[in-house]
Copies of this chain bind each other. A is one copy, B any other.
Amino acid sequence: MNFLILYAHPTRSSFNGKLLDVAIEALTDAGHTVEVSDLYNINFNPVAGKRDVTHEVDNGFFKLQIEQNKAIEQGTLSADIIEEQNKLLWSDFVILQFPLWWFSLPAILKGYIDRVMTVGFAYGGGKWYDTGGLSGRKAMLSLTTGGPEQSYTERGINGDIDSILFHINHGMLAFCGFKVVEPFIAWSAAHVGDEGRQEYIDAYRNKLQNIVSEPLIQYPSLADYDPKTMTLKD
């Protein structure tokens, strides 16, 4: 299978970078092909706007989706977006490797979603969730946190991690059609010592060795929703 890893950390030699190394090694060893987009290294521009398209935009009322649609029709998306879209199309499985900053993606990775997952490519024209533009593929978050696991529970001070990650797992990945694998989380990675980090590395390698059969997060399917109200049928 073809794996694309989106890597979003300012330092390649960080623990996030170590997890990236582990993934490249474990997946390659298992016979997969791995491509990496190291967003800091390629100086990825995360700011969606007029530079996303090469045609002349409506300056009076610039609306991103309208211009994205025009760009898809005319082939006038900017080169950096097309390059990433081609990698996504090539992939069977996408891994997002990042430190959880402010309970979400680092801005450089959020901007990747904003800019690369354009209407007409990832969604739109009736395509979303099960029928999203990237359906047929899987995706998974691999992240490090600042706080320990118990602080990310329903009774923990930060709130339940699955609810926190819902806006990414469901709102970004499932929305585009990906089946979403349960995330890998290295809790409090900076504070567990070398031994604790080694345990994370071993656990991650283990998960990757069986990645094809790893459990998916279960969401209702489009057919479970009333097509008029887009709320769950009784």
Instruction: List residues of chain A with CB under 8 Å of any chain B CB.
Output: 10-11, 13-14, 40, 46-50, 60-64, 101-108, 110-111, 113-114, 117, 129, 147-148, 150-151, 153, 155-159, 163-164, 166-168, 170-172, 175, 190, 222, 225, 229-232
Contacts and interface: CB of A to CB of B under 8 A. Distances in A.
Contacts of A117: 102
Contacts of A11: 61-63
A231 B151 contact: yes
Given A48-B106, A110-B107, A171 B158 contact: yes
A156 B102 contact: no
A103 B222 CA distance: 18
A61 B107 contact: no
A129 B211 CA distance: 37
A196 to B, nearest CB: 17
B101 A105 contact: no
A232 B46 contact: no
A171 B47 contact: no
Contacts of A171: 102-104, 158-159, 164
Given A114-B101, A114-B106, A172-B102, A157 B231 contact: yes
A29 to B, nearest CB: 27
B104 A107 contact: no
Given A101-B114, A107-B110, A148-B230, 15 more contacts: A11-B63, A13-B61, A48-B107, A102-B113, A102-B117, A103-B170, A103-B171, A103-B172, A104-B110, A105-B110, A107-B111, A107-B114, A157-B222, A157-B225, A158-B171
